[in-house]
Chain A
Amino acid sequence: MTPDLDTKDRCFRALIIWGNLVIACCGIALMAMCIFFISDRGGLYVLVYATGNDSIWRGAWIGLFTGFALFCTSILGMHAIVVSKRNILLAYILLMVIIYAFEVASAITAATHKDWFVPDLFLKQMLQNYNKPLPDNLPSTQDQIYVINRVTETWNRFMTESKCCGVYGPEDWVKYESHFRQQNTDADYPWPRQCCQQDAMGAISHLDACKIGVSPFLHAQGCYDYIAGPLIRHGFGVSWFGFAILCWTFFVILGVIFHYTQLDF
C-alpha cells in the first residue's frame, strides 16, 4: 500500500516539475519575443503613438516582465515541489496567481488593440500629421512637434523603402484634404516625391510620368500592408502565445494546489 502511494506521488511530482520546466522555457521565449517587438525594428512606434493609443506596446512590456517572472517563479516552483514544504508551495501559488493576472492583462490588451489597426486609422493620421506646420508656442507643444516630425519622417522612409504610396494607394493624397494638399497644388505635387520610383542613385526615374501617375514610375501600391502587417503580427504573437502559456499554466497551478492540499501539516 505505502510503496504504491509513494510511486504515485513521485510520478505526480515529476509531472508538475516537468510542467514547471515547460513554463520556464515558455517564459523565457515570451520575454524574448516581447523584447523583439519592443525594439521596434520597423520604426512603427510613432505611427501608433500618434493615434493616441499605444496599448499594444504596453501589452508587450507587461509580457516581457511576466515572461521573466514566470521563468523565475517556475524555478522556485520546481524547488518547492522537490522539498514539498507548505509555506514555499503557498508562496509559489500566490506568486503564480499574481503573475497569471498580469499575463491575462497582457494577452487581452494585445488582442484588443490588434483589432484597431484598420487602414482608415493610419489614413486619417497620415492626412492630419504629414507635413503639418509646426506649432509656434514652445515648449508646451514639444510632444506635437515630435509627433509631426517623426510621422512625416516615418512616412517618407516607408514610401521610399517599401516602394509604396499612401495607405490604400497614391489616390489617398488626391482624394482627401490634408496639410500636404493645402501646401501643394495637384498639378505639381499630386503626391509626395517619395512615391516616385527612384533609380540606383536615388534620383527620380521619370518625374513627369510620376506626376500623372503612370506605374511603375509611381509606386501604385498602398503602404497599409507594410505598416499594419508587423503590428498585427506583434499583437498576434503577444496575445496568442500569452494565451497558450496561460492555458498551460492553469493546469500546472491546479496540480500544485492539489499537491498542496495533499501535504500534511
Chain B
Amino acid sequence: MSWTYMLSYTYFFSVFMFGVRPQIVSLDHIPEILPYEASGRVTSTTIVLGQPLCYFNTLTQLKCSQSTCQVWAAIASGPGINNFDIDKLVAVQIVSASPYPIAFSSQTNRMYFVTKLGRPKDFPCGQLPGIKYFRVGAEGNCTNTNCNGILPPGSTVRVKYILIDPVSRGVVSESKWSYPISLTSTRSWSSIDEWLGKRSGGMVVITVISSCLLAVLLLLLGAVLLLDGLGSFRGGHDITTGPGILGQYSY
C-alpha cells in the first residue's frame, strides 16, 4: 500500500518538477538468442543472447552522453513484462525497483530484474572478430540487487536492452522485448527408457540354429549310446558263440 503510494508520489513529483513523463527513446532492435551454433545457448537457468551491438551508439539528445550512459538488460518473466513497463515510467530508481534475489521468489513480486552490461561504446557498430554474447544467469547463485543471477528453472522469459542515465537512474532508451524464450526443463533420469524392446536378427539366428544343432547332437548321442547298449548286449552274446565266427574267419 505504502509502496504504491510512494511510487505514485514520485511519479507526480517528477511530473510536477519536469512537467513531462520521462522521455524514453524506443528502438526497433529486438534482442535475440545468440545466432551461432552453441550447445549451451539455452539451459534450464541461463540464456546466451547476442550483445546490443550498435543499438544505442547513434542516439543523440539524450540526458547522458555516450561515455556516461549505461547499457543494462531487463529480464522479465510472465507479469514482469508489464511490471517493468509500468515501473520504467513511474519508478525513477528503476535499477533498484526489483532487486534480483526476491524478483522471482513469488508471483506477487515484480518478476523482473535489471543487470548492467557496460557503456554504449563497449558495443560498437560494425563487424567484430569473435563471438559477442551476453549470458543471462552467468553469475549463478548471487545475491546482489543487480547481479546477473540464474533464472527460475523451466520458466519463459523475455529480455530487453535498456539505456540508463546514471544521474537520474531512469530509463532513457530501450529496445523492444525479445520473443518469449522458454528455458529447458530438466527431465528426470527415471524417465529414460533404457530398453528398446527389439532384438537383432543375428541374435535370433544364432540362438535358434545353435540350439537346434545341439538338440540334434544330443539326440544322436542318445541314439548311439542306446545302440551301443544293445550292441554290447548282442556283442556279449556273440562272444559266447565266438568260436563259430572265429572258425568262419579261419577258413
Contact = CB atoms under 8 A, between A and B. Distances in A.
Interface in A203-258: 209, 211-215, 218, 220, 239-240, 243, 246-247, 250, 253-254, 257
Contacts of A257: 220-221, 224
B86 interface: no
A212 B133 contact: yes
Interface residues of A, number: 56
Most buried by A among B133, B207, B211, B231: B207
Given A114-B200, A220-B39, A239-B206, A104 B224 contact: no
Given A127-B189, A174-B44, A121 B210 contact: no
A187 B221 contact: no
B16 to A, nearest CB: 44
Most buried by A among B43, B141, B188, B227: B43
B210 A243 contact: yes
Contact of B36 (A114, A121, A214): A214
Contacts of B246: none
A175 interface: yes
A181 interface: yes
Interface in A154-189: 169-171, 174-178, 181, 185-188
B210 A187 contact: no
Interface string A63-93: 0000000000000000000000000001001
Contacts of B221: 93-94, 97, 257
Interface of B: 34, 36-41, 43-46, 48, 131, 133, 135, 137-141, 150, 184, 186-189, 192-196, 198-200, 202-203, 206-207, 209-211, 213-214, 216-218, 220-221, 224, 227-228, 231-232, 235, 238
8 contacts: A97-B217, A108-B210, A174-B39, A174-B184, A175-B184, A177-B188, A177-B189, A213-B41
Interface of A: 90, 93-94, 97, 100-101, 104, 107-108, 111-112, 114-116, 118, 120-121, 123-124, 127-128, 169-171, 174-178, 181, 185-188, 190-191, 209, 211-215, 218, 220, 239-240, 243, 246-247, 250, 253-254, 257, 260-261, 265
Given A124-B192, A186-B40, A187-B135, 15 more contacts: A90-B228, A100-B214, A104-B210, A108-B206, A120-B194, A124-B194, A174-B43, A176-B192, A177-B186, A187-B137, A187-B150, A190-B46, A218-B39, A239-B202, A239-B206
